[in-house]
Amino acid sequence: NGLTGSADNIEDTTTLHLHGFRENVSPYDDGVPYVTQCPVPPGHTQTYGFNASRYSFYNEAPPGAYTQAGTYWYHSHVGAQRTDGAYGAVIVRPNKTSDYVDHEKKKIHYEDNAENTLILQEWYESPEEKTIRSLLINGKGRIDTGSKTNYAEFIVKPGKNYIFRIIGAISENIPFRLSIDNHKFTAI
């Protein structure tokens, strides 16, 4: 029930921010350097805690319920560490699984596989030149048509419904549109 932030392979301090989590129980784990915590020094680790099995926001939920089931992400809050790759997905599943309800109030079963998570991130010219060249999906993408880099791929079967979790780990204020070739999707 937590993440461990490590500063083993970097020359600077670091922190991890659990993006979207309500930190009313442990605000000192929010990951904002010098505001909610001291940064983790190089060569040290820190475990960021949240208890997903026993959380009740303002005592509104029964014991054992976790009111924040969903898709979240973590990222560093120090310098350019996030844009250099210090980020990832956190998926919190509800205690009780059930069919998901679509926008027409019909129950539909969806395949819910954590591997179907898309993390969108900018691809910069270089660590020094922060000009956006392209967008990455799960760290994969291309700058131009001559690039040999593979795109992120997801395997789906005809006639099945899938949940794809989408995380916009974008730091710049840029508009973009996400589409899936030859498929339709609904945000739920």
Rounded distance, CA 15 to CA 146, Å?
Answer: 37
The tens place of each residue's pLDDT in the chain, 188 residues long, gives 555 555 566 678 888 888 877 666 677 777 888 888 888 888 888 887 765 554 444 445 555 445 667 888 989 888 888 888 888 998 887 665 555 555 566 676 778 888 999 999 888 877 778 788 888 899 888 877 777 778 888 888 888 888 899 998 887 777 777 877 788 777 76
Q: Tell me the pTM.
A: 0.77
Residue 54's pLDDT is what?
A: 47
- Which three-class secondary structure state does DSSP give residue 115? coil
Read off the pLDDT of residues 151-170 as tens digits, 9 standing for 90 and up: 888 888 888 888 899 998 88
Q: What pLDDT is attached to residue 101?
A: 53
Q: What's the per-residue H, E or C state across the chain?
A: CEEEEECCCCCCCECCEEECCCCCCCHHHCCCECCCECCECCCCEEEEECCCCCCCHHHCCCCCCCCCCEEEEEECCCCCCCCCCCEEEEEECCCCCCCEECCCCCEECCECCCCCEEEEEEEECCCCCCCEEEEEECCECCCCCCCCCCCCCCCCCCCCCECCEEEECCCCCCCCCCCCCCCCCCCC
